[in-house]
Amino acid sequence: MATEMSEQSLTTKPGVAPDQPRRRAATTVPDDAAALAMIATLTPRIAEGAAKRDHDRILPREEIDALSTAGFFGITVPAAHGGADVSAITVTEIFTRLAAADPSIGQIPQNHFCWLPVVDHGTPAQAEFFFSRFLAGERIGNAHSEDTVRRPGDYEHQLVRVEDGWTITGKKYYSTGAIFADWIPFIHHEGEGEVRQSRMFFVWADQPGVQVINDWDGFGQRTTASGTTIFTQAFIPDAYVFPLSAPRDIGRAFVLNANLIHGAIDLGIAEAVLEDARIYIRTQNRPWTHNPNPTHAEEPFVIRDFGRLGVVVRTARVALMHAARLVDTARTSATPEAVLAARLAVADARILTSEAATKLSHEFFALTGARATLGKHALDRHWRNARTHSLHDPLRWKEFHLGNYYLNGVVPPPGSYV
């Protein structure tokens, strides 16, 4: 279990963070409106370099640092610890805008916001320490998946109890955000069934025994650096260990956070495609031979199909924002009924947003013609990003669990990612 911090655990081991944060946010974002204004200021610059970063696989270090400086990584810190504790609706809107500007940058901080609430499962001293670091701009990454033939959640890492803490040795993959992170968490399970205990260990990234390798070569989401993390007897103090879940906090379950943000990433891609298609059709296309109108944008079939694609995107947005409202409700009431309603709505939205992103990024080319495939337009990145991100977790199982609930009354079980 997580323990109170001690002077010994904070000063005698190489895996302990320095007393002062190594990043300093320029400001603490005070509320939802300020958080949205902050993102509105940053996204134009993020969007400006997105195509080149994608083409050349340039990691967005400056852009992620700018988010830290602006106070972005502290916006969901609880108010009791000095944060804005912004709503799920605001988080969803912010990630949608980030992903519309650059979906790789939209995905990189997803794990930070997914795992940040876990800190509240520990002691008051732990919460005070970690939340102050996030307000200062420090970032959480991710190293809880392994590239093996075993099922997700079946880990091969070696966790060893030592004086004042633990050491981990193991190789992780899909480490989105780790290369930019100050803290790289992993999950460890002990026991089976009802006695199973799951904990999250936060590894200080800047220590011996931690190596993050940018070997991600997926054809989409190219600059997420979702590659390999290698731990070699990396030390984790007891003070950096937390229960993965807490009964008092079921409305902030990490699966709700994760799925909601993944939906926002897909929605951002879809909205970016629709806007890029609108601009291209109005400024780049020439009218087809039999088009009775002087411009391509006035062709009846193009207008009709653009309208159809717009319906897909707007429907996905409505579903996602509805889900976000139910997540906010679940956080307030934290009843099993409210949490279940949020889980089901988020699953609906994840399916619709993923379908919107993949459908638009594929079908809009039929409205533009062959010249839209030229490299100078970089429009292929939308399809590559949508297709890659859509594979994060199998939507077919979300559809199964939704069907099994609405048909047979079977509540999606823990671990179902619903």
* Residue 181 and residue 300 in one domain: no
Identify the pLDDT of residue 251.
Answer: 54
- Of 244, 273, 295, which one is at a domain's C-terminal end? 244
Q: Is residue 140 part of a domain?
A: no
Return d(Cα 231, Cα 80) in angstroms, integer.
Answer: 34
Per-residue confidence band for 253, with pLDDT thresholds at 50, 70 and 90: low
- Domain containing residue 108: 7-135
Q: Which of 150-164, 200-214, 269-283 has the lowest mean pLDDT?
A: 150-164
Return d(Cα 99, Cα 336) in angstroms, integer.
Answer: 31
* Residue 103 and residue 57 in one domain: yes
Identify the pLDDT of residue 255.
Answer: 79
Measured in whole angstroms, how far is the alpha carbon of residue 64 from the centre of its chain? 14
Beta-carbon neighbour count of residue 280 at 10 Å?
Answer: 20
Q: Is residue 104 part of a domain?
A: yes
Q: Is the pLDDT of residue 8 over 70?
A: no
Here the CATH number for the domain that contains residue 105 is 1.10.540.10
Give the 3-state secondary structure of residue 387. helix
Identify the pLDDT of residue 1.
Answer: 33
* Residue 328 and residue 236 in one domain: no
* Residue 196 and residue 48 in one domain: no
* Residue 280 and residue 305 in one domain: yes
Mean pLDDT for the stretch of residues 281-287: 93
Per-residue confidence band for 64, with pLDDT thresholds at 50, 70 and 90: very high
Q: Are strands 241-243 and 228-237 parallel, antiparallel or unpaired?
A: unpaired
Identify the pLDDT of residue 12.
Answer: 43
- Ramachandran assignment for 369, one of left (phi > 0), alpha (psi -120 to 50 degrees), beta (any other): left
Top-confidence residue, 334 or 125: 125
Give the side-chain half-sphere CA count within 13 A for 95: 34
Q: Is the pLDDT of residue 2 over 60?
A: no
* Residue 124 and residue 175 in one domain: no
Q: Is the pLDDT of residue 155 over 50?
A: yes
Give the side-chain half-sphere CA count within 13 A for 113: 27
DSSP code, position 366: G
* Residue 344 and residue 256 in one domain: yes
Q: Is residue 417 part of a domain?
A: no
Mean pLDDT for the stretch of residues 283-295: 92
- Of 135, 168, 195, which one is at a domain's C-terminal end? 135
Q: Is residue 99 part of a domain?
A: yes
Q: Is the pLDDT of residue 210 over 80?
A: yes
* Residue 75 and residue 166 in one domain: no
Give the length of the chain.
Answer: 418
Q: What percent of the chain shows pLDDT beyond 90?
A: 80
The partner residues of 236 in beta bridges, in order of sequence, read 166
Q: Is residue 224 part of a domain?
A: yes
* Residue 240 and residue 280 in one domain: no
Number of structural domains, the chain?
3
For 88, 198, 254, 342, 346, the CA distances from 322, given in Å and listed in that order, are 10, 31, 18, 9, 8
Here the CATH number for the domain that contains residue 190 is 2.40.110.10
Mean pLDDT for the stretch of residues 184-188: 95
The partner residues of 166 in beta bridges, in order of sequence, read 161, 236
pTM over 0.75: yes
How does the average pLDDT of the chain come out, rounded?
Answer: 91
- Contacts for 168 with CB less than 8 Å, ≥ 6 apart: 157, 158, 159, 160, 186, 201, 203, 231, 233, 234, 236
Angle between the 32-48 and 61-69 helix axes, to the nearest 10 degrees?
160
* pLDDT tens digits, 14-47: 788 888 887 777 788 999 999 999 999 999 999 9
* Residue 205 and residue 269 in one domain: no
| Listed residue (271, 352, 360) closest to 316, CA to CA | 352
For 309, the token pair is: 């694609």
* Residue 356 and residue 209 in one domain: no
Identify the pLDDT of residue 190.
Answer: 85
Q: Is residue 149 part of a domain?
A: no
* Residue 16 and residue 92 in one domain: yes
Rg, C-alpha atoms of the chain: 22
- Of 135, 169, 201, which one is at a domain's C-terminal end? 135
Return d(Cα 212, Cα 232) in angstroms, integer.
Answer: 12
Q: Is residue 145 part of a domain?
A: no
Give the 3-state secondary structure of residue 204. strand
Here the CATH number for the domain that contains residue 345 is 1.20.140.10
Asked if 360 and 312 count as a contact pair (C-beta separation under 8 A), the reply is yes
Q: Is the pLDDT of residue 10 over 50?
A: no
Asked if 389 and 266 count as a contact pair (C-beta separation under 8 A), the reply is yes
Q: Is residue 150 part of a domain?
A: no
